Amino acid sequence: MGIELAEIEDWNCCGSTPYSSVDGLISSCMSARNLALAEKTGLDLVTACSSCYTTLRRTNSLLKQHPQLKGEVDEALAAAGLEYHGGVRVRHLAEVIVNDVGPEAVAAKVQRSLNGLKVAVYYGCQIVRPGPGFDDPEFPQSLDRLAESLGAEAVPFPLKTRCCGGSLIIPEEGVVLGLIHKLLDSAATNGAECIITVCPLCQTNLDVYQGRVNRKFKTHYQLPVLFFTQLVGLALGLSSKELGIEKGVVSAKKLLSRYS
Amino acid sequence: MEIFLAILLALAIFIGVPALVGLLITVSVVRYNRYQTARAKRALTNDTGFLAEVASIPGGEGVYQCIQCGTCTGSCPNANEMQYSPRKIIAMVRAGMRKEVLSSDTMWYCASCYLCTERCPRGVPVTELMYGLKQLAYRSGFRSGPTAEPVMNRAFVDLINRNGRVHEVSLMLRYYLQSKPLAILKMAPIGLKMFLRGRMPLRPHAIEGTEQLSAIIAKAHALEAARATVEVSR
């Protein structure tokens, strides 16, 4: 696709929602270290995780809006010989593919059309919110267009930006299984054969916990949950193995045998 | 016969003793967390300073803008689980109800989906406010809470502080040992499913710059302590 990725040297975990819950200043510092490392390269920062995307973007805007916080973060970074000037643009890989490459250019590269595959494109919350982001915060369309450029059919999915519960699955499994159930139900009743996601945590909740939802709500969902990158890769001719599709707990083997 | 007995004895010592010690440590940690939380709750008193304190957190100044319309509550996927709805908790902050707010479960059910923030007609960053309330609860000494989320967050943070990365197996072990040790058995099938598909690396990975991280954290703690002294003297 003409995109070259350079891994940020020695990046650290951005801290995600747990760190922001525990300590405001240090959580900003954790993000700022990554931003400082990225700033040295002069490139945009790209992540394939919605939580990293929101956390790093949030740090950028907090530092802009709150001079006192900025001063403290600068001091803490200086203790480690780092500095951040606020110049890094934080982007999600989905947005890069949609905006920089574009669905038309992707369509031109398709080797194996996913004709007839019905997908529910699940954006989740943190890729579109808080807005303004790269698409509508409640009813985004851009990744539906991307899926269609691969030949797939994006089914109507009213809950496409409803929350999957995120890391609350660990302390509050019962509550979060209810949220996941609603998502699976919405996708299935609209005729989806699989769910497409842009976030590792959404993937884990919808895929790994699908069996527990079935047990709790006496349902029989068998919806494979694929990353949007896997869907694109499949259409561009890469093998399931290269794409790690067999790592999904709900098997996509039968569904995708139509396209091999 | 003696060999058999010796092996049995060795097994009992090598497995039984560490298991017993582990259990004792776990039980004491869980009990200590509960004790600290109860103490923190007793120490809180309601006061008008609470509103100013919340408003001073980045994002917290939004409490002044709220018109109590309830859009946040209507949008929240977890409002049904909360002791006080998001709208109500804002009203309680404004009424200076420090004790009820910080010991409630409301903010611990926030999954940071930002729907309230997106829809608020007054532009109140409600999600930021929830982060602020969680931070204040920790600062007031809450080690566990009405839900187990505070324990999970701390386990997560401890791992990042040490290694710069999260390691799922360590996170789950720490979290369960400090909150509900027996429930770990329920998690085993999930862990196994992920392990079998190569999604659960057993060994943690640390970044090169752990010393850099420690320096940043130490400095940030010093700055926070300095800030707290200024606030007290005011």
> Tens digits of per-residue pLDDT, B130-158?
999 999 999 998 877 788 999 999 999 99
Q: Find chain A residues with C-beta within 8 A of B113's C-beta.
A: 125-126, 129, 162-163, 166
Of the pLDDT bands very low, low, confident and very high (cuts 50, 70, 90), residue A157 is: very high
Q: What is the mean pLDDT of residues A177-199?
A: 98
Q: What is the mean pLDDT of residues B115-134?
A: 96
Q: Using the predicted structure, report yes or no on whether residue B1 has a pLDDT greater than 80.
A: no
Provide the shortest C-alpha distance from residue B233 to chain A (in Å). 19
Of the pLDDT bands very low, low, confident and very high (cuts 50, 70, 90), residue A123 is: very high
**Ramachandran angles phi, psi of B200, nearest 5°:** -140, 75
**Spatial contact of B26 and B178, defined as CB atoms under 8 Å apart:** yes
Report pLDDT for B11. 82
Provide the shortest C-alpha distance from residue B95 to chain A (in Å). 23
| A116 CB burial (10 A radius; 0-12, 13-18, 19+) | exposed
Is A26–B217 a contact, with Cβ atoms under 8 angstroms apart? yes
| Amino acid letter, A71 | G
Report pLDDT for B230. 76
- Residue A211 and residue A197: Cα distance in Å, rounded? 18
Report pLDDT for A203. 97
Q: Using the predicted structure, report yes or no on whether residue B42 has a pLDDT greater than 70.
A: yes
Is A12–B160 a contact, with Cβ atoms under 8 angstroms apart? yes
Q: What is the mean pLDDT of residues B83-110?
A: 96
Helix A228-235 and helix A142-149, axial crossing angle in degrees, nearest 10: 20
Q: What is the complex's ipTM, to 2 decimals?
A: 0.95
* Each residue's pLDDT tens digit, B84-97: 999 999 999 999 99
Provide the shortest C-alpha distance from residue A99 to chain B (in Å). 23
Sheet with A153-154, edge to edge strand ranges: A153-154, A118-122, A194-197, A225-227
Q: Using the predicted structure, report yes or no on whether residue B232 has a pLDDT greater than 80.
A: no
Q: What is the mean pLDDT of residues B175-185?
A: 88
Of the pLDDT bands very low, low, confident and very high (cuts 50, 70, 90), residue A172 is: very high
The full DSSP string for chain A is: ------PPTT-----HHHHHHH-HHHHHHHHHHHHHHHHHHTSPEEES-HHHHHHHHHHHHHHHH-HHHHHHHHHHHHTTT----S-PPEEEHHHIIIIII-HHHHHHT-SS--TT-EEEEE--STTT-SSSSSS-SSS--HHHHHHHHTT-EE---TTTTS---GGGGTT-HHHHHHHHHHHHHHHHHTT-SEEEES-HHHHHHHHHTHHHHHHHHT------EEEHHHHHHHHTT--HHHHTGGG-SS--HHHHGGG-
Give per-residue burial for A220-248: e unless 16+ CB within 10 Å, then b.
ebbbbbbbbbbbbbbbeebebeebebeeb
Q: What is the mean pLDDT of residues B66-77?
A: 98
Of the pLDDT bands very low, low, confident and very high (cuts 50, 70, 90), residue A137 is: very high
Q: Find chain B residues with C-beta within 8 A of A25's C-beta.
A: 220, 223-224
Rg of chain A, C-alpha, whole Å: 19
Q: Using the predicted structure, report yes or no on whether residue B233 has a pLDDT greater than 80.
A: no
Matching residue, tokens 């970074």: A77
Closest chain A residue to B184 measured between Cα atoms? A170
Q: Using the predicted structure, report yes or no on whether residue A79 has a pLDDT greater than 90.
A: yes
Provide the shortest C-alpha distance from residue A116 to chain B (in Å). 28
Q: Find chain B residues with C-beta within 8 A of A76's C-beta.
A: 216-217, 219-220, 223
**Higher per-residue confidence, A202 vs B19:** A202
Q: Find chain A residues with C-beta within 8 A of B53's C-beta.
A: none
Of the pLDDT bands very low, low, confident and very high (cuts 50, 70, 90), residue B15 is: confident
**Higher per-residue confidence, A1 vs B126:** B126
Report pLDDT for B141. 85
Report pLDDT for A1. 86
Q: Using the predicted structure, report yes or no on whether residue B207 has a pLDDT greater than 90.
A: yes
- Tokens at residue B204, please? 């943690």
Q: What is the mean pLDDT of residues B14-43?
A: 83
Q: Which residues pair with A47 in a beta bridge?
A: A92
State the DSSP code for B233.
H
**Higher per-residue confidence, B44 vs A46:** A46
Report pLDDT for B22. 82
Q: Nearest-5° angle of CA B188, CA B194, CA B197? A: 140
Of all residues in chain A, the percent with pLDDT exceeding 90 is 97
Report pLDDT for B234. 55
Is B153–A126 a contact, with Cβ atoms under 8 angstroms apart? no
Q: Using the predicted structure, report yes or no on whether residue B44 has a pLDDT greater than 90.
A: no
Report pLDDT for B33. 81
Report pLDDT for B145. 73
Report pLDDT for B23. 83
